[in-house]
Amino acid sequence: EAHDKLASQYHAHQLDERIWVLAKRHYVALLERSQQPALAETFFNSVCCKLLSRTYFKNDFIFVRPAVATDYLDADTPSYRCYYPVTSGWHAALRKIVIDFGLACPFEDIERDIERVIEAGRQSLPADFAPTSDCQFHVLGNLFFRNKAAYIIGRMINDGEVMPFSIPLLRRDDGRLYIDAALFGADQIEGLFNFSRAYFMVDMEVPSAYVRFLRSLVPTKPESEFYTMLGLQKQGKTLFYRDLLDHLRHSHDQFVTAPGIKGLVMGVFTLPSFPYVFKFIKDKRGKDVSREFIKQQYQLVKFHDRVGRMADTWEYSLVSFPRNRMAPELLAELESTAPSLLETDGENIVIKHLYIERRMTPLNIYLEDASESDRRHALREYGQAIKDMVAANIFPGDMLYKNFGMTRQGRVVFYDYDEVAYLTDCNFRKIPEPRTPEDEMASEPWYPVARNDVFPEEFGTFLLGNAKVRPFFLEYHADLLDPAYWQDKQQRIRDGELVDVFPYPERYRFETT
């Protein structure tokens, strides 16, 4: 409605081009007083892209490049606080960090918890660690909330070196707080910001200052992913597209069809030198599902708790690609499987609708080339991925290995959503005993099958065919073949049980050590 009103009232496409350039110039002047100029630029782009045709999608009319630098932008109250453990003592400094958040709930035993954090820090620091004159803690001024936990995010500086840390806080049923773990180092911190987890809720006056701080903790992760994980997904999309344009200017390889078994519903292509995949819904689909249904499935996962096992996606419209960077085989595939999505814009190919996500190695390909120890790990991860999704009331539907990927951190993540369903909407059944020998030999089931019926005994047919895979699957996850396992999980969810799926290994938790 708002778009139609603006378009009709101001006749957007009929205005002189100089008007749009002038509008942007006045907007830039307003940005100088904003503490969130990057988000304001993205808002301006969103409005303009709704009103203007694609010919205006260039730097004269929208913010293809940022107009205001945010490198040293910060709030009146600094975004992070400093503490000096050498002067005040380690215990006192950590205690002050917790107190400064002003939490209303009392702690169960804060002195005990701080000693646990100090001990975890000792185990993580080098044996020859010695504090220097610049030794200090920097801690972001607001907590990061997700699921049942609140996270303190900070870094320790010593002799110019940076060690990231995070302290998760949990709450007992009686309202008392306790520290659940202490995470040290980029490898442990990165898992909190993984693309397969739900977004954080954070109260940020100046988001760019928080993202700048987070990038100092995990420099390999791009700004686009940090903005997204902080719940500012549109800004994440803006920055991702800028990164893509910049990468295209500095590379010369071609977009190609992604390796792996072709999907019945989705097509996937990638740029080998860029760590993402681009997914489109085919016009000619091998399953009887509508385009709208598939979009709903992706939305379902987007707004659900992804528990570290379902890949997040950025959804884009009207994405332009240089035709000369598209491999001929890929162009032929696009033209044959999704012609309704394609437009030609001079030397560019415009794809009307895309999902973009982090690239992973398809699990079926990974298993083919893996060593025995890696295969064991992959199968254990595969089954655990399914069990984590089950804990979040998600049934993946199509459990073939090709629908899962192995990340560079060694985690298995699910990414094919066209058959996803809520676990509690499924009917898990045992296959009835055959009544006659003819029943047993029949090509069709001798028993009625409803649309939501699932027979876990059948999973073995397509999961256990490979002799190199079968023993590891059965060792760790034979219960997935038993209807009773699924029925029990359904009942627990219906009873209101909320299973904890933590974004850090169980061994880091103080309660279990």
SS3 track for 76-127 = CCCCEEEECHHHHCHHHHHHHHHHCCCCCCCECCHHHHHHHHHHHHHHHCCC
CB atoms within 10 A of CB 51: 16
| Alpha-carbon span 131 to 135, nearest angstrom | 6
Residue indicated by tokens 């991860």: 381
Check if the beta carbon of residue 82 is closer than 8 Å to that of residue 59. Answer: no
* Rounded Cα gap, residues 410 and 384, in angstroms: 13
| HEC secondary structure over 313-365 | CEEEEEEEEEHHHECHHHHHHHHHHCHHHEEEECCEEEEEEEEEEECCEEHHH
The two tokens of residue 453 are: 């019926």
CA separation (Å) from 479 to 442, 482, 489? 27, 5, 12
Provide Rg for the chain, Cα atoms: 26
- For residue 466, CA distances in Å to 297, 360, 394, 478 come to 30, 22, 26, 15
Task: Report how far apart, in Å, the C-alpha atoms of 253 and of each of 243, 249, 272, 279, 469 are.
Answer: 16, 11, 7, 19, 35
Q: Which residues neighbour 225 within 8 Å (Cβ) at sequence distance 6 or greater?
A: 193, 195, 236
- What does each C-alpha distance from 141 to 63, 189, 219 come to in angstroms? 30, 17, 20
Active-site annotation, residues: 312
CA 145-146-150 angle, to 5 degrees, is: 40
Whether 45 contacts 32, CB under 8 Å = no
d(CA 503, CA 499): 13
Helix (H, G, I), strand (E, B) or coil at 153: strand
> ∠ CA(293), CA(225), CA(251), 5° rounding?
95
Element (H, E) at 294: helix 291-302
> What string of H, E and C letters represents the secondary structure of 372-417?
HHHHHHHHHHHHHHHHHHHHCCEECCCCCHHHEEECCCCCEEECCC
Number of other residues whose CB lies within 10 A of the CB of residue 513:
11
